[in-house]
Amino acid sequence: MYNLEKLNKIQTLIGYQFTNIKYLVLALTHSSTTNPENNQRLEFLGDAVLALVVSQWGYLAHPQLPEGKLHQMRTKLVCTETLASVAASLELHTVLETHHQKVNQAILADTLEAVIGAIFLDADFTITQSVVLKFFANLPLRWSELSETTDSKTILKEWAEEHQLGKIIYRTFSMSGKPHDPLFTIECLLPNTPEKFYGKGKSRKIAERNAAQKALAYLALK
């Protein structure tokens, strides 16, 4: 029996409130349990929805990349390691019903896919797309590592010029850490856009690229 307080916390972390909470409960029920209903079918659905969300994002955010590079990016983004990291950040392991003594990366990744499938059934593709992209926006270094040949600042600048958005502003929001090991947080501002995009990195350049990557993800939804 799931604790309603824990389910509410998970929904807050996910950034989505379910209309039918049964979908979330099912997504958090692993096939190792004795429960006749588990999350395997939702995992199947969520895998397909995730692939479409990431494919569309890659297509719109990286117009200069050929099909092969887009496929590589998608593969890196939906790999078990990345999905498990997102699932852990959402604390899905704390409420997952399973008979496994240890929840490994594969189980975490599968659970995240099941949750994505649950959101899709409870809402629609547009809402699911928005929620999923926010999941990955919390992993800025992963976004920047998707394509070694891609400079997100350059892409964002070209996008802004193409859509006549005006000048993009980058400014230092904060700097923490020790002098020999700093951590920069850069704020990216787009003209005529109320949203602010933040990126972190060991240098201003890396932080700016991560901020630009988040801006690109936002623009892909517009």
Domains of the chain, start order: 4-144 (1.10.1520.10), 152-219 (3.30.160.20)
Q: Is 5 labeled as catalytic in the residue annotation? A: no
Q: Is 113 labeled as catalytic in the residue annotation? A: yes
* pLDDT tens per residue, range 138-183: 554 444 455 444 567 877 887 777 777 788 999 999 999 888 888 9
Q: Give dist(CA 80, CA 78) in Å, integer.
A: 7
* pLDDT tens per residue, range 44-88: 999 999 999 999 988 887 777 778 778 877 887 888 888 998 998
Active-site entry in 43, 110, 113, 208: 113
Active-site entry in 43, 47, 110, 208: 47
